[in-house]
Structure 1
Amino acid sequence: MRITSILAVALSTSAIVAATPVLAQTEEQAEEAKALTYPETKTVDVVEEQFGEAIADPYRWLENDVREDADVAAWVAAQNSVTDAYLATLDGREPLAASMTALFDYDEIEPPVEAGGKYFYERKSGGQNQAILYVRDGKDGEERVLIDPAGWSEDGATALAEWKPSSDGSLLVYAVQDGGSDWRTLKVINVATGEIMKDSVEWVKFSDLAWMPANSGFLYSRFPEPEEGAAFQSLNKNHTVYMHMIGKEQSRDIKVYETPDQPELSHTATVTSDKEWVVITSSSGTDDRYEITLVKVDANEIEPRKLITGFDHNWSLIDGVGDTLYFVTNKDAPRLRVMKTDVSAENPEWVEIVPEHVATIDDAVLVGNTLAVDYIDDAKSRLELFAVDGTPKGVVDLPGLGQVKGLDGSAKASSGYFAFESYNRPATIYSFADAGAPTVWAQPDVPFDPESITVSQRFYESKDGTKIPMFLVHKKDLDLSEGAPTLLYGYGGFNISVLPGYSEPKMAWIKAGGVYASANLRGGGEYGKEWHDGGRLQNKQNVFDDFIAAGEYLIAEGITPKDGLAIEGRSNGGLLVGAVMNQRPDLFTTGHAAVGVMDMLRFDRFTAGRYWVDDYGYPNKEADFRKLLSYSPYHNIKDGTDYPALIVSTADTDDRVVPGHSFKYTARLQALNTGNKPHLIRIETRAGHGSGKPTDKLIEEYSDIYGFMADAVGLEIAD
């Protein structure tokens, strides 16, 4: 159970052929490429009046699906040609690619899931594009490959996504993700024989997977099949929970729960580990406010009954034991608490098990009779154990400043598992039971010494005096008093907490002598509801102020020279980069805006964009419109102002934040008088919002992007 919601991930298909990269250039050709003549982008006469404001949108045509519109496809090819030619002039790309290739050369392992005495887990070894799913018979049994996606596509861009074994471990349902898409196709495999069964389920998106008793079938969530040609842009509505019966055609799947009178709602279903209750969680957006509906598993008919109504609070199921269900909630507890209720009662009452703490609950699981609660304590993890009545059983001894991920267990299990990682070390997998120290289940042999990298935390003041945490990561022997090129990362939204985590591309930047900084901006979930509310809706400017203050702090403290500050953000963080570039172009030297939400007046018209009104507001409501217009990156580019060097990245198949956002923003940035520094866009093919991207594409992408920013800030990349 993960308590925070998620904005970012992916999409699919292919129709664009990127321009062939320039591998070698003469000096004259290099100078010509650096001169940067951008492709000419046509404009259209689109002006719409909103609340008395005339809103021009001359690049509206770039919203069209690149797979369906030849003009957009030609624009993409022309932009990639200019970008490829420029990137080919940069000396740092090849050494960065070599460094990243070496850094990816280790075994990346996920925590195991136990079912019927079998242990299922993913592992991706150096050189592999996609993770492989393995199974062991017994905790220490010999592993064997169960699912290897390596042969699913020629370009390695078809990935294994979500999966779930049946309770006895004999069957496993898994999702196939093609080209980074949010759409999934579900398949079923016989664990003993490796046979792929005939079951196939299409148009699955934003779904949990849950097995019914006796392996009779599984629950999943899907949208209606979209109209021809609209799969990657049309709004997602009428999410429905279905039950697929093993061996049957999808057309015979049974509707378990839908809300046709409220088509904007999303629904996901899980089943308690003892198979007593189906628990359906419904939401209207990305804010963690849910309704909970119950269905008795052994009932003769599907009879949903409401347990929680109103969409007022976060209610996240931990597990159930008989008729007792355990939840994490922020009802009367902004930093969350654990409660239980007996759902057999006519009017179930709620009993507090673990009260609210100064730290924020991020995750919780039952492991037998032990409740494991993962807290965010000043933007880093703390894991504590309790008896089921709430009696403390001790704090788990974690190996330093970092993040607990993949906390897994159930009321039927005797052991739980989690991964622990930090900025200077990939995930190590631990097993735990009751109190006492966790034991290592799997530990990677990484291609560098983690102790050679320093991770520290500082606090700085934002514009309004709020204290903001920030992590600094650099080589231990780097003298910070002399200043070094610094890459500052931020997100700041959707209640998502940015905790210490390992990244091979960022480690390549650090090993080259740069500093990596990560600021825990308001809008995230690091300090509970108040922190989230402090950076959304009418308070969204606080996020930009927090990030700008981080940059000012890094320069004022001498950590980075004034001309040495690079910034990066993805998705909602891409919006962040675009907004602060407009507000303080003098502060930053270069930036990377990845898969960003750039047109704040039209974000709610495509795919999953309608969910984001919880954080951004409604463009058709005047107060929200005026706030959105005040910071929308596309609408606030300043003509006649010198902008930092900027690289925008997106993908042709991103159906989370459609690429039209990045296309329109880049076109306007290039067309206006924004100085002589490069303003480029890198458009990947057969890649979505981020998930499922093969390793070779990640290395190509980040050697390009970090090579671009390293060149701008003067970070020398040694061969």
Structure 2
Amino acid sequence: MPRFTTSLAALSLVASPIALAAQDTDAEDPYIWLEEIQGERALAQVDEWNAATEEVLTVQPEYPIAKAWAKQILDDDRQIAMPSAIYGDMVANLWRDADNPRGIWRIATLDSYRSGAPEWRTLIDVDALGREEGESWVWHGANCLAPEYRRCLISLSPGGTDADVLREFDMATGEFVSDGFTLPAAKSSVAWFDDDTLFVGTDEGEGSMTESGYPRLVRLWDRGTDFSSARQIAEGEVTDVSIGGLSVLDGETRWRFVRRGPSFWTNQISLVRDDGSTVPLPLPEDADFETVLDGYVIAKLNSAFETGSTTEQPGTLVAWSLDRVMDGETAEPFVVFRPTESQAVEQVATSENKLWVKVLDDVSGKLIELTPTASPNATGWTQRAMDLPANSTIQIAETSGKGDTAYVTVESMLTPPTLYEVPSQGPALAIASEPAQFDASKFTVEQKFATSKDGTKVPYYLARPKGATGPLPTLIHAYGGFRNAQTPKYLTAEPYRSGPLSLFWLEEGNAYVLAGIRGGGEYGPRWHEEALREKRQNSFDDFHAVADDLVANRLAEPGRIAASGRSNGGVLVGAVANQRPDLYGAIISGSPLIDMRRYNQLLAGASWMAEYGNPDVPADWAYMREWSPYQNMREGADAPAAFYYLSTLDDRVHPGHARKAAAKHEAFGQTFYYHEYKEGGHSVGADHEEDAKRAALLLAYLNREIGRGAE
């Protein structure tokens, strides 16, 4: 196995193991220089690590085959043209294929789309625009003003960063508006106030951004005026996460709001009158603002809440009358939907008259249609469960603004995505399906439950070759944070940002596991709460429990299990590798958080202190110190071989996390692999070529470390 210890830059600063084991302060960390994102020395080190990784892995026999196959799958022009938005009687789509790696934004009539033969009209060719302007544009979306949908705010990212350039676009002419609204690259918050006015929060220089790197001020910017004259209507504190405006068209009424986020998990939301003045909403600060329908604002509770004589439990959907709030009356909420103990509300969307709720029931998707009654606060909302395939992952892709139709995808690990048109009346209709990319009859998938250290039952999905007996090399992927549930997707699109890695791994005779550990949203707010801050160890214990359950049932064996996670998952896999090096032989760590002592000082890190804790507060650092991956790395040959993949241009999770971890591995003489793309942002890959390469590199790595090649 390779030992990447040849770096002159790293060798010149190798500290003693005792010094490396401390690093509770900046002065004790010899690798802070790697946090200089575009630093010449840091980038030279990155280039060296990248080259060392590619030198070892690209010569493996499976690499060229896997890369070509991944590219073929990702570029397959038989993919579903997913609706990114429905604009009246038109549907929009961003199409990416081999000829259009950055994408084409296009529209077609809804009637032609439903027929299966959409007549597309190209609006923006992102690749051509980038060539014309000499920029590496990555599409970050369009916000088109209802109900005419003529004017749109287009977000383009240079290289895939979270910072976007904003431009106004005219749907009718198919061109950018020459004298329209524009903003330079920044982490802006922009929304329509009306035809000629925007809510804008952006980087205006000193004092305009929070410590988390997001807007602190909200202004109303009128068309044809200089932004410097835009009127401020709201502001947050510098310690907040962010503040921004938004508007929702509800029938003929446009409701406008300002949302201030004092922390990642709290919001103070106010209605905005036509004159820009505000009225606070009575939502609990920790509730999730979901949508507006029929004059009611709908929110999901994340803690118990008193509604009259009843205490509603976390996860419940409740509603308040906006007219009463606007009139200054005391508005009592009423219940819209109560999930059962095994359910979690994961998605909420509206059509013209209906509320569509996607729930997880033991991590299996269900779609429920809710209709407000004549007096919804007195008699509740009627509900109907929609007839869709069971034991699947369901995703609401889009809903119609006129009429009551939802477009949802249904898939499983072995069943490719199918797009259904789900009308308010009548059966769901399959209107498009992706082709099968592999022979599903060769594999089996079953849901199992492991028992965690405190007795909690932890769900996981296990995929194996059909007929396989005994332990197999096993890849376990999980997330365990920020209320994000892990649901089983088709094996060509599992959650690595690396395309079909899980499929390739199974095709070689191995096993793949998707674990729903605590910290996520698999069972609603309680599942998240049980791994928050000082309870974070529960998510690590859940992951260990899944691995131990596989070993106990002779499905896997210690040392031949790989732990995989992205972003917050970097904290997860770094912690479990440190805690149980006997159990894991490899870790895949994508765009990872690792140094929890300094994370709040790096890019958007300060915004996540409500999730993890504040390391500058001694009481918080006391528990974080127990599991922070960077501080708990130790020398020793038993450390699992790590593969770090990330992007230089990630302006959300700082690349210094992975760089410094790699430097420590190098100082300890431990096996590690490293691949840092220069573009791609937090998603890493800017196009399918990069995604395919990453899938092939990771497959070659897994084979060397825990697969057949490791024997």
* TM-score interval (norm. to shorter): 0.7 to 0.9
Change (3 A) 1:341 1:35: closer
- Which deviations, in whole Å up to 9, do the C-alpha atoms of 1:126-158 show, x marking residues without a partner? 564233222113432622222221224469952
SS at match of 1:633: coil
Residue pair 1:418, 1:431 contacting (<8 A) in 2 also: yes
Change (3 A) 1:325 1:645: closer
- In 1, Cα distance between equivalents of 2:318 and 2:397: 19
Aligned residue among 389, 396, 403 for 2:386: 396
The alpha-carbon deviation at position 402 of structure 1 amounts to 2.5
The alpha-carbon deviation at position 120 of structure 1 amounts to 1.4
The answer as to 2:259 corresponding to 1:270 is no
- In 2, Cα distance between equivalents of 1:400 and 1:694: 33
Aligned residue among 191, 194, 205 for 2:174: 194
The alpha-carbon deviation at position 461 of structure 1 amounts to 0.8
Equivalent position of 2:479 in the other structure: 491
User: What letter corresponds to residue 316 of structure 2 in structure 1?
Assistant: R
User: What letter corresponds to residue 347 of structure 1 in structure 2?
Assistant: T
- In 2, Cα distance between equivalents of 1:343 and 1:713: 57
- Which deviations, in whole Å up to 9, do the C-alpha atoms of 1:521-555 show, x marking residues without a partner? 11111112221111121111111111112112222
The alpha-carbon deviation at position 56 of structure 1 amounts to 5.7
RMSD, matched Cα: 3.1
Mapping 1:487-636, distance limit 5 Å: 487-502=475-490, 503=493, 504-505=499-500, 506-636=502-632
Give structure 2 stretches of 5+ with no counterpart.
Answer: 113-117, 305-311, 374-379, 494-498
Equivalent position of 2:446 in the other structure: 456
Residue pair 2:540, 2:576 contacting (<8 A) in 1 also: yes
Residue pair 2:136, 2:158 contacting (<8 A) in 1 also: yes
Equivalent position of 1:39 in the other structure: 7
Residue pair 1:365, 1:407 contacting (<8 A) in 2 also: no
Residue pair 1:210, 1:271 contacting (<8 A) in 2 also: no
Residue pair 1:62, 1:663 contacting (<8 A) in 2 also: no
Aligned residue among 345, 349, 354 for 1:370: 354
- In 2, Cα distance between equivalents of 1:268 and 1:535: 31
- In 1, Cα distance between equivalents of 2:93 and 2:221: 24
Residue pair 1:596, 1:662 contacting (<8 A) in 2 also: yes
Equivalent position of 2:115 in the other structure: none
SS at match of 1:631: coil
User: What letter corresponds to residue 7 of structure 2 in structure 1?
Assistant: P
- In 1, Cα distance between equivalents of 2:686 and 2:645: 14
Change (3 A) 1:582 1:246: same
The alpha-carbon deviation at position 256 of structure 1 amounts to 4.1
The alpha-carbon deviation at position 568 of structure 1 amounts to 0.9
- In 2, Cα distance between equivalents of 1:108 and 1:57: 52
Equivalent position of 1:8 in the other structure: none
- Which deviations, in whole Å up to 9, do the C-alpha atoms of 1:645-687 show, x marking residues without a partner? 221122211111101111111111211254xxx2122111122
User: What letter corresponds to residue 408 of structure 1 in structure 2?
Assistant: E
Residue pair 1:295, 1:305 contacting (<8 A) in 2 also: yes
User: What letter corresponds to residue 218 of structure 2 in structure 1?
Assistant: V
The alpha-carbon deviation at position 97 of structure 1 amounts to 0.9
The alpha-carbon deviation at position 361 of structure 1 amounts to 0.9
SS at match of 2:395: strand
- Which deviations, in whole Å up to 9, do the C-alpha atoms of 1:197-256 show, x marking residues without a partner? 13322244274x54344x3244354343579xxx9x984154333444455554454444
Mapping 1:306-321, distance limit 5 Å: 306-308=280-282, 311=285, 313-321=286-294
Change (3 A) 1:159 1:278: same
**Higher-RCO chain (CA-CA 8 Å, sequence separation at least 6):** 1
- Which deviations, in whole Å up to 9, do the C-alpha atoms of 1:369-396 show, x marking residues without a partner? 3222111111221111122134444211
Change (3 A) 1:588 1:671: same
- In 2, Cα distance between equivalents of 1:455 and 1:252: 59
The answer as to 2:66 corresponding to 1:96 is yes
Residue pair 1:364, 1:407 contacting (<8 A) in 2 also: no
- In 1, Cα distance between equivalents of 2:185 and 2:475: 39
Equivalent position of 2:680 in the other structure: 687
- Which deviations, in whole Å up to 9, do the C-alpha atoms of 1:601-657 show, x marking residues without a partner? 110012210011111101122221011111111111122342122211222111111
The alpha-carbon deviation at position 292 of structure 1 amounts to 1.3
Change (3 A) 1:166 1:619: same
Give structure 1 stretches of 5+ with no counterpart.
Answer: 1-32
SS at match of 1:639: coil
Equivalent position of 1:205 in the other structure: 187
Equivalent position of 1:142 in the other structure: 119
Aligned residue among 445, 449, 459 for 1:469: 459
- In 2, Cα distance between equivalents of 1:397 and 1:156: 46
Equivalent position of 1:386 in the other structure: 370
Equivalent position of 1:21 in the other structure: none
Mapping 1:22-33, distance limit 5 Å: none
Residue pair 1:65, 1:72 contacting (<8 A) in 2 also: yes
Change (3 A) 1:670 1:137: same
- Which deviations, in whole Å up to 9, do the C-alpha atoms of 1:90-125 show, x marking residues without a partner? 222112112212322242432352223222122333
SS at match of 1:458: strand
SS at match of 1:653: coil
- Which deviations, in whole Å up to 9, do the C-alpha atoms of 1:14-65 show, x marking residues without a partner? xxxxxxxxxxxxxxxxxxx9464431414399999xx997776333433432
User: What letter corresponds to residue 39 of structure 1 in structure 2?
Assistant: S
Equivalent position of 1:70 in the other structure: 40
- Which deviations, in whole Å up to 9, do the C-alpha atoms of 1:144-181 show, x marking residues without a partner? 22222122446995211121222112222221022120
Change (3 A) 1:416 1:640: closer
Residue pair 1:369, 1:411 contacting (<8 A) in 2 also: no
Normalising to structure 1: TM-score of the pair? 0.85
User: What letter corresponds to residue 278 of structure 2 in structure 1?
Assistant: P
- In 1, Cα distance between equivalents of 2:580 and 2:416: 35
Normalising to structure 2: TM-score of the pair? 0.86
The alpha-carbon deviation at position 465 of structure 1 amounts to 1.6
Residue pair 2:83, 2:91 contacting (<8 A) in 1 also: no
Report the identity percentage: 24
The alpha-carbon deviation at position 489 of structure 1 amounts to 0.3
The answer as to 2:155 corresponding to 1:175 is yes
Residue pair 1:334, 1:530 contacting (<8 A) in 2 also: no
The alpha-carbon deviation at position 589 of structure 1 amounts to 1.6
User: What letter corresponds to residue 360 of structure 1 in structure 2?
Assistant: A
Equivalent position of 2:216 in the other structure: 239
How many residues are aligned here? 666
The alpha-carbon deviation at position 262 of structure 1 amounts to 5.7
Residue pair 2:462, 2:514 contacting (<8 A) in 1 also: yes
Equivalent position of 2:340 in the other structure: 357
SS at match of 1:711: helix
Deviates more, 1:450-459 or 1:370-379: 450-459
Deviates more, 1:265-274 or 1:76-85: 265-274
- Which deviations, in whole Å up to 9, do the C-alpha atoms of 1:299-346 show, x marking residues without a partner? 2x21011113663x213132243x433333335344422222222322
The answer as to 2:134 corresponding to 1:151 is no
Equivalent position of 1:279 in the other structure: 257
